[in-house]
Structures are given as structure tokens and as C-alpha cells.
Amino acid sequence: MIRASAYTFKILRFDRKKPQEKARFQTYRVKVIPGLTVLAVLNRIRDEIDGTLSFRSSCRSAVCGSCAMVMNGKIDLACRTQVASFGKESIILEPLPNMEIIKDLVVDMTPFWTMYEKVKPWLIRSTPDPEKEIPQSEKDRSRIDQFVNCILCACCYGACPVISRDPGYLGPAALAKLERFVLDSRDERPHAWLNDVNDEHGVWGCDTVLRCIEACPKDVRPTDAIIDLRKRIFVDKVKKLFGKQR
Amino acid sequence: MITREHDVIIVGGGLAGLRAAVGLCEKYDVALISKVHPLRSHSIAAQGGINAALGNNPDSADDSWEKHAFDTIKGSDYLADQDAVEIMCREATGIVYEMEHWGCPFSRFSDGSIAQRPFGGAGYPRTCYSADLTGHVLLNTLFEKAASLGVKIYPEWHVLALAIHENTCHGVAAFDLMNGELVSLVAKATLFATGGYGRVYFYSTNALINTGSGIGMAYKAGVPLKDMEFVQFHPTGLIGTNILMTEACRGEGGYLINAKGERFMEKYAPKAMELAPRDIVSRSIQTEIDEGRCLEHPLGNYIRLDLMHLGEKKILEKLPGIRKICIDFIGIDPVAEPIPIMPCQHYSMGGIDTDAATATEVQGFFAAGECACVSVHGGNRLGGNSLLETIVFGKIAAASIDTYLSVTASTRDKDICLSTARAVEIKIEGLLAGGHEKTFQLHGELAKTMSTYVGIFREQGDVKKAMEEIEALKKRYRNVGVSSPSLTMNYELMNAIELGYMFDVAHSIAYGALLREESRGAHSRTDFPKRDDEKWLKHSIARVTGTGVPDISYRDVTVTRYKPMERTY
């Protein structure tokens, strides 16, 4: 027999269309069986208790990146977080920080996608494509592994302390995406393009406090990307001094 | 009401929709409408791979597109249209190379070529992959390509009705969820790439967004559906959450084990074993469960998917996503323990009736990807062919729409779109006025009905029960109410509207299953256990009628060079 336990969910409620009504926490009492995820509970609350509750979800298997939020102070995907994992019966749910709330747990991710597009997140080649695949060694392919795994859920963007004081900062996800292409043996973007991120809104903005790494549900390490990009920029500068830049 | 005009509207931001947008956006004013951000589309969840006869694997040097076509046709239990399969398989290698050139990070062999693994029902290891995240890398690559071209996207807009008048499509009515506004969208051509209907079933590997509303919308607007009774059940869904455990688990050498410790596939497919096509493996697993040779768990009876003998290194290298899902969702590390699985609804072979150029019988209305039925999968789809279909037919849709727009004078009519949108407006007002029935309850009952009575094994009495149940639910649906009056981010309202379309999808599946008195591919009738080519080598075509029960007629299958024969593995 599986026994259900009672939990109290306190969920942040807000509607951008009604700015006069301040954000508040609403309490829901729910009985939960072990193994149930926060997303499953949210679905139940919306279905059975309160249809006005808004949150995003899709794959419910931690691959689509829809349901990032703050659960008892920790940023993660609601679909892969078990209710029992907190070890307490009171659970507070809040939307991702650093973005404007549209409604309840749904935030406006437009700034996040704007930063993503700024780094030109696509393969850039100058050599004409071969008839078959562009060869890539297993070793070269494995170098981009962790950055390929990024699901753009914005957990890192929500956790980043730099974005909260500088909304113009590119943020960990965009810089990790840039690194995914810079590290790709097939990418041929000119080195000079790294100048676009060679400032305080780019790689030099990072505090290297590793909050992004802690928040990532996919084990991506954006700080590694940022430090590597800094190195590349530095090495480029040195080469330039000695007249060796390509 | 706001009206917007575009040359082309593409509904759906998964692989098929994005590929079509990429093909059209430089020449036309294209708008891609998606009810979630495109990168949240269900294409992202595909794990195992994409088939193309590249011949990169040392064991597949003499592979060819013809062999790929043969495997696909045999896998389809000869219901696929062979001319369409030939087009898909011939295009496959070019499509994979194109995706690679656009940046797709495929896994590699030691010679630097794209890696290929064995998959079910295939004579050669021809499934190209990126670990167990192939959908993720393909969708990201196509989204990156679309971003580089500046494709216009309406994210989180729900299309709620299709505007068709006198056999011509004029556009759609869509709801902008962020602003809580209904918008009339007018276009010279409309492409549906809206995905499958998994959530019509209770046990499904599909994302929560896969309601099949696009298929229902087309049907309601008068576009016929094809082969709806053919529903794929994936052999290996995790118990409880039903999350997909990729076929690559078996492609890499995993075993299926029953409670007696037997590799039971020996009884059902002695040559192909665990790598028989999905319909056969799912039936075998279900038989083991039904006959009591399964294990018990509070979440349900199950069979073991055993990867332990592959070793930690191979699991970490080839199936890292699977391992992470198992640890996160059921607390099991497949390196040390077998995975508890059961068959779950997975894929929609049937869908909007299209030809091999993605055209429907309605002028200016096209469909591609899982929502469409070309048919290239017939009675059963092979693993690795769905990703292929989305990109090949997304590309073909772009070419087809280009041709259509260059030879057909524009007939788009704003007023027709506006009256479609007005009808949706009235529907929304009715739902907001409130009724005592709840969407989640009716949806739950529908899904349980479908899983119980129109599942892996079907029988006349059961399917009739399903039909009665669906008709009763349709009546109750008239009294559905929505509790939230706010229009911004009102998912309850969107779910309520989509549910109406889900009933039509379910109805067409059940009625098709009732009428087809044979067993072919994934359609397995216990009261008609044999395939009957004389009577049933035919596509079923379902059309909407005034009574609510679909009108079903039949159309011959196109056979080119592969004569139907007995299907053994």
C-alpha cells in the first residue's frame, strides 16, 4: 500500500494585467503519494482546486525546459523534482527570478531569447560544404558534449546574480551556447567576433560564483565556458601584439 | 478583432514546421505559430536516432536507400504507400548531411563519419544519432538555422480553428496566450505541423501538449483523416510516468526479461529478438504481462529492460539521458538495476490525409510530420523513421507550397477568417460562462477508455464500448465550464477547447478500429487475428459528418516494387 502524505504548497500569484493587485502567496493543501513530482502536483492543483493557476509545462521528462521555477529557494525543473525530496511538508513555489512575471509562475523570457540570438548561435563556416558530412573526430565531438546538453530552460539565467544588477549582461546560457560553437571543430567564425563579448556585458561580467552551475538541471557548466572564452580573448590579444592573429 | 496577414502560416514549431519555415522564409512572408516556444516542441524528446542509408557502419557498407525502403514497407505491414516511402528513403541521406552541415552534432565513428546504430526492424545499422538526444540536437539545429534566417515566430499562440470555405483554406483563428487575445490570421497557404495525439491515451510517452488538436481541427473543418486506427505503442515506457526509454537501449544490446528471467522475445521473434519492430515487441510484452509472467510494482505490472551487461562505460557514453531519467524519475540506476517498463502509446501513424507532396484535398492547406498521414509508416512505423519523416516532408512542404503560390492566384478572404474567429469567440464565451463538467475529468475518462478498449489488443465488443463512451463524453462536453475568467495564460481555457478536438480524434481511431476486421501492423484484432490483403490492403479515410460518427471509406494502397508477403522476424 502506498500512503499519501499531506503537503502545503504556497504558490506566488500575480497577474501583470492587474498591477494594482500585489504579488501574494496562495496556500493549497494537497495529499501526495511518494514519487510524485512538483509538476504533477501543479497539474492537480490547476485541475482540481484552482483553474486560475498558470505555469508552463510540456514534456514532463526534463528535456523540453518549460517548467523551470524556484522550489523552496532552489532553482530546478518542476517535472524532475520530487515533492518528497525536500524532506518537509511545506513547499514554496516562485517564478524564475531576473525576468518579469506575466502570470503566477510564468515569466516573460523575451530577454533570455534576445541574449541567445545575440551570440549568433548557429554553425558558421567559410569553407564550402563537402558532399557528405564534415568529418569530426570522436574526441572533437566529445569536447562540446556538455554544452550540447543545454536545454535553454533558463535556470542559470534565473540564478545569475549579475543579471539582477545588469539586465544587459548576456548571461550564462548565451555564453555557454557561444562556447558550444567556438569549441566545435567545424565552426569557422572569425576570432575577431569574440570582441562582441569582450566587455562587461559579456565574458567580463561574470562574478564566477558558480550559481549557474549549481542551478543547471543538465550538468552544464557555463562558468567553464565563460573562463575559456576569456582565455581565448586573452590569447588572441597576445597573438595580436606579436602580429600573429589570423 | 485584430487581423494579421501573411503569405504562409505554419502551425507547429517542431522539426516539420521549422524545416518548412526555413525553406520558405527567404522568399515569402512566413509566420510560424506555436503553442509553446519552438524549442519546447515534442520533437525535442526523440531519443534514438534518424535513419539514412549512409553506410558508415562497417556492418552496413552495402546498405542502400532501396533496402531502407524495403525495411520500412515490410515494417508497415505493407500498408505504406510505396512511392512515398521511396521518396522519403531516397531523400534521407541528403537530409542527414544537410542537418550536419547546419551544425547538428551527431555522434561520430572513429573515422570521423556520422555514427550509426542498429534499430528495430532494420536489416542494417543505419540509425544516425547523437547519444540518446537525437531529437534535442536536431530541433536545436533547425531552430538555430531559423534564428539565423530571422523566421517570424508567434510563440505561445494557440491555433483554435481552421478557416476553410468551399474547399479552400484562408487561414486560422489563433489565441495569443500572453496577451489573452483572439487574432484572425489570414494566409495564402497554411501548413499544419501540429504533431501527434498521444494524450488521447492514458498511458503515453508523449508530452502533455500532444493533444492532437491540430488533427481534430482539420477534421472538423472538413479535411479527411487517414488510417486513424493505426496507433503505435512503444514497447518500453517507464512505469508510472511512462517516459520513453529509447529503442536505442535495445539497439545498443539491452535485453527484455520476464519474471521467470527469460529473454522471452525468443518465442515471438527468434531472429530479430529485442530488435523486432515495435508492434511485435509491444504485443509480446503485453502478452507476457497478461499471462502473468510480469513483475509487480505499486505503479503497475512490468517487464525488465536490462542494460546491466552493457557496462557502465557504454551506458554513460551511449545512453546518458536514459540513465539520468531513470535516476531522476524512478530512483533506479540502469548500470546496477534493470529498468521497469511497460508498453505505452507512442506515435500516431494515422493523421491528416496528404499526398507525397504534403497537399491535402483542400486548396492551400498542407500538413507534414506526425499530424499528417502520407502514408510512409502504414500500419507500423519503424524507429528512426519519424525524425526522418518530419524533416523530409517539412522540406517537401516548403517546395510544394512554393509551387502552389507561384501557380495559384491568391484567394485568401479576410471575412472567412473573421467569421471562423467569431465562432471561436462564441465558444470561449460559452466556456467562461461556466458549466458543471470539468475538462480534466472528461479528459481522464476519455484517455482511460482509449487505453482500456482501443489499446494494443482490440476486439469488437470492447471497441463498441469505447464508441459508446466517447459519444456519452461528447454530450457531457457540452456542459464544460472554465473557472478562470482571466484570458492571459489561461491554460484551463486552452485545455477545454482542445479537449473538444480530442473527442473527434478518439472517435475516428475507435471507429476505424471497429470497421477494420483484420490484424495488420499495430492494429491487432483478437477476433480477426490474420492480415487479410484481399479485403483490407487499403487505407481508411474518415470524414466528418453531421451525426458525429465519422464516415469511413477506403482507398487502395500504392504498391510499386515490393509485393506484400508474410511478415516474420
Three-state SS at B97 = helix
Q: Are residues B386 and B438 in the same domain?
A: no
In a domain, B562, yes or no: no
Phi, psi of A64 (to 5 degrees): -95, -20
Active site residue B234: yes
- Find the Cα–Cα–Cα–Cα dihedral B182, B187, B189, B195, rounded to 10°: -20
Sort out which chain A residues have CB atoms less than 8 A from B39's CB and list them: 64-65, 151-152
What are the pLDDT digits (tens) for B301-335? 999 999 999 999 999 999 999 999 999 899 899 99
Indicate if the pLDDT at residue B24 is higher than 60.
yes
Question: Does A148 contact B482 at a Cβ distance shorter than 8 Å?
Answer: no
Q: Are residues B261 and B299 in the same domain?
A: yes
Q: Are residues B501 and B398 in the same domain?
A: no
Question: Tell me, what CATH number does B160's domain have?
Answer: 3.50.50.60
Question: Does A123 contact B180 at a Cβ distance shorter than 8 Å?
Answer: no
Res B409: pLDDT = 78
Sort out which chain A residues have CB atoms less than 8 A from B330's CB and list them: 35
Q: Å from B533 to nearest chain A CA?
A: 39
What are the pLDDT digits (tens) for B479-508? 999 998 889 999 999 999 999 999 999 999
Distances from the Cα of B535 to the Cα of A22, B378, B515, B531, B557, angstroms: 67, 16, 12, 9, 12
Sort out which chain B residues have CB atoms less than 8 A from A41's CB and list them: none
What would the grid cell of residue A229 be? 572564452
Question: Does A58 contact B209 at a Cβ distance shorter than 8 Å?
Answer: yes
In a domain, B176, yes or no: yes
* Domain region containing B505: 418-556
Q: Tell me whether A189 touches chain B (CB under 8 Å).
A: no
Q: Are residues B196 and B338 in the same domain?
A: no
Comparing A57-61, B352-356, B432-436, the range with the smallest average pLDDT is B432-436
A240 band by pLDDT with thresholds 50, 70 and 90:
confident
Catalytic residue (choose from B158, B250, B323, B531): B250
Average pLDDT, chain A: 95
Sort out which chain A residues have CB atoms less than 8 A from B107's CB and list them: 138, 141
Res A1: pLDDT = 58
What are the pLDDT digits (tens) for B508-532? 999 999 999 999 999 999 999 999 9
In a domain, B58, yes or no: no
Three-state SS at B317 = helix
Q: Are residues B428 and B511 in the same domain?
A: yes
**Domain final position from B393, B415, B437:** B415
What are the pLDDT digits (tens) for B89-126? 999 999 999 999 999 999 999 999 999 999 999 999 99
Q: Are residues B317 and B338 in the same domain?
A: yes
Q: Report the distance separating Cα B489 and Cα B495, nearest Å.
A: 11
Question: Does A133 contact B44 at a Cβ distance shorter than 8 Å?
Answer: no
Give the A window 97-156 contacts with B, CB below 8 Å. 102-104, 106, 108-109, 113, 116-117, 120-123, 125, 129, 131-138, 141, 144, 148-149, 151-152
Question: Tell me, what CATH number does B263's domain have?
Answer: 3.90.700.10
Q: Are residues B289 and B261 in the same domain?
A: yes
Cβ contacts from A onto B, under 8 A: 157
In a domain, B59, yes or no: no
Q: Tell me whether A227 touches chain B (CB under 8 Å).
A: no
Q: Report the distance separating Cα B282 and Cα B306, nearest Å.
A: 16
Q: Report the distance separating Cα A190 and Cα B133, nearest Å.
A: 29
Q: Are residues B212 and B108 in the same domain?
A: yes
Q: Are residues B143 and B30 in the same domain?
A: yes
In a domain, B61, yes or no: no
**Domain final position from B320, B346, B372:** B346
A193 band by pLDDT with thresholds 50, 70 and 90:
confident
Mean pLDDT value of segment A128-150: 97
Q: Are residues B140 and B45 in the same domain?
A: yes
B411 band by pLDDT with thresholds 50, 70 and 90:
confident
Indicate if the pLDDT at residue B151 is higher than 80.
yes
Catalytic residue (choose from B42, B158, B170, B234): B234
**Domain final position from B395, B415, B435:** B415
Mean pLDDT value of segment B365-392: 98
- Select from A46, A63, A132 the Cβ nearest to the Cβ of B491: A46
Task: Give burial (CB, 10 Å; 0-12/13-18/19+) of A234.
Answer: exposed
In a domain, B75, yes or no: no
Res A244: pLDDT = 62
Q: Are residues B212 and B259 in the same domain?
A: no
Q: Are residues B482 and B333 in the same domain?
A: no
Among A59, A66, A101, A142, which would you mutate to test the B interface (most chain B Cβ atoms within 10 Å of its Cβ)?
A59
B235 band by pLDDT with thresholds 50, 70 and 90:
very high
Domain architecture of chain A: domains with CATH: 5-107 (3.10.20.30), 110-241 (1.10.1060.10)
In a domain, B105, yes or no: yes
Alpha helices in B221-335 (DSSP H): 248-251, 265-268, 278-290, 311-318, 320-330
Mean pLDDT value of segment B383-387: 97
Q: Report the distance separating Cα A87 and Cα B333, nearest Å.
A: 22
Output the pTM of the full model: 0.97
Question: Does A122 contact B144 at a Cβ distance shorter than 8 Å?
Answer: yes
Res B299: pLDDT = 85
Q: Report the distance separating Cα B233 and Cα B200, nearest Å.
A: 13
A113 band by pLDDT with thresholds 50, 70 and 90:
very high
Total tally of structural domains belonging to chain B = 3
Active site residue B567: no
Q: Name the E strands within B403-550.
A: 457-458, 524-525, 538-543
Residue given cell 484562408 in the structure block: B170
Sort out which chain A residues have CB atoms less than 8 A from B145's CB and list them: 122
What would the grid cell of residue A50 be? 484552482
Sort out which chain A residues have CB atoms less than 8 A from B195's CB and list them: none
Question: Does A133 contact B97 at a Cβ distance shorter than 8 Å?
Answer: yes
Phi, psi of A13 (to 5 degrees): -115, 135
CB B113 within 8 A of CB B54: yes
In a domain, B73, yes or no: no
Question: Does A63 contact B44 at a Cβ distance shorter than 8 Å?
Answer: yes
Residue B108 per-residue DSSP state: B
- Select from B108, B112, B483 the Cβ nearest to the Cβ of A52: B483
Question: Tell me, what CATH number does B434's domain have?
Answer: 1.20.58.100
